A and B are shown apart, each in its own frame.
Chain A
Amino acid sequence: MNKKDILWGLGIALLLALVLSPFASPWPDGLERVAEDKGFLEKGEVAPALSSPVPDYAWPGVKDEKAATASAGILGTLVVFGAGWGLAGLIKKKD
């Protein structure tokens, strides 16, 4: 995989996060829907075991909802890109 492929791949992922994520369906996903319909959604409304810096894919403090989501998407995409590559590099070195 050369530099051009990497940039293309990462670019496509960033574009999805930046451009499409603010327009994703806001409806609950399958598990949330079932939890709501079957009356156990409130069990998940406990204080989370860990408070995350960017809960629910929206930067706290960013008023514009679309910008909050898009920027969270960019952050996450870059973090997993680095983590995935870094971890693969570490695994590779071991052998």
Chain B
Amino acid sequence: MHIPDGFLTATTWGPAWLVSVVGLGACIRTAAAKLKDKMVPLMGVMSAFVFAAQMLNFPVVGGTSGHLLGGVLAAVMLGPWAGAIVLAVVLVVQCLIFQDGGLTALGANILNMSFIGTLGGYAVFAILKKILGKKLLLAAAAAAAWLSVVLASTACSLELVLSGTAPFNVVFPAMLGVHVLIGIGEAIITTFVLSFVLKVRPDLVEVSHE
């Protein structure tokens, strides 16, 4: 759901840029206080994994594909703030080097995927973990991963509506319909990768030793 240049008007992408810059500053300050030495290279590894995984589009339905967002995965591994920074790093490189997501829309893409998808997705995960208990950590991650994609796509829809690109009653149901399906892929991949890391290196998963 990387928004290209041209989909958003300046009255939408401008404020989104502002929010993303201020928000990333806050993420950096908060992450700095919590960052442990061993997490420093792990942020590089997670960035590499999320980037590579985002290239792997899987078919969803009727000539449509989706790919991992990776926000909940990164946040559960690294904590929400470092996770959001990882997603932002990936989005910036995708935009600057690969023209995936426009430069004007970069703020909106960071807002949708790094803040709403990652920080928001992690908030959902944290609530579910509290309700379900640690034994059902993977279930909480799966549900949060699914919802993170739905929430991020909803934010994207709203930005398109605010820009007058498409009316709400047209774009919202269409985006929702596709992303509830893409979210299933997100949940499966997130659960698979987390269960693998929890098996081989549980100490690298931030929430497993809180």
Q: How many residues of A contact B (CB 8 A)?
A: 63
From DSSP, what is the main secondary structure of chain B's interface residues?
A: helix
Chain B interface bracket (under 10, 10 to 19, 20 to 34, 35 or more): 35 or more
Chain B 85-106 per-residue mask, 1 if CB under 8 angstroms from chain A, else 0: 1100110111111111011100
B31 surroundings in chain A (CB, below 8 A)? 91
Judged by a CB distance under 8 angstroms, whether B128 is at the interface is: no
Interface contact B6-A45, CB-CB below 8 Å = yes
Interface contact B63-A81, CB-CB below 8 Å = no
Interface contact A57-B55, CB-CB below 8 Å = yes
Chain B 130-163 per-residue mask, 1 if CB under 8 angstroms from chain A, else 0: 0000000000000000000000010010001000
A94 surroundings in chain B (CB, below 8 A)? 32
Judged by a CB distance under 8 angstroms, whether B56 is at the interface is: yes
- A81 and B14 CA atoms in complex are apart in Å by 29
**Quick one: which of A63-95 are within 8 Å of B by CB?**
69, 72-73, 75-89, 91-92, 94-95
A56 surroundings in chain B (CB, below 8 A)? 98-100
Instruction: State how many angstroms separate the Cβ of A87 from the closest Cβ of chain B.
Output: 6
**Quick one: which of A12-49 are within 8 Å of B by CB?**
12-14, 16-17, 20-21, 24-31, 33-35, 37-38, 40, 43-49
Q: Which of A27, A43, A55, A91 meets B65, CB within 8 Å? A: A27
Instruction: State how many angstroms separate the Cβ of A91 from the closest Cβ of chain B.
Output: 5
- A87 and B93 CA atoms in complex are apart in Å by 13
Interface contact B41-A77, CB-CB below 8 Å = no
Q: What are 15 of the A-B contact pairs (CB < 8 Å)?
A: A1-B38, A1-B41, A1-B204, A27-B59, A29-B66, A30-B182, A33-B63, A34-B174, A50-B96, A56-B99, A77-B52, A83-B89, A85-B40, A92-B35, A95-B32
User: Which A residues are closer than 8 A to B by beta carbons?
Assistant: 1, 5-6, 9-10, 12-14, 16-17, 20-21, 24-31, 33-35, 37-38, 40, 43-57, 69, 72-73, 75-89, 91-92, 94-95
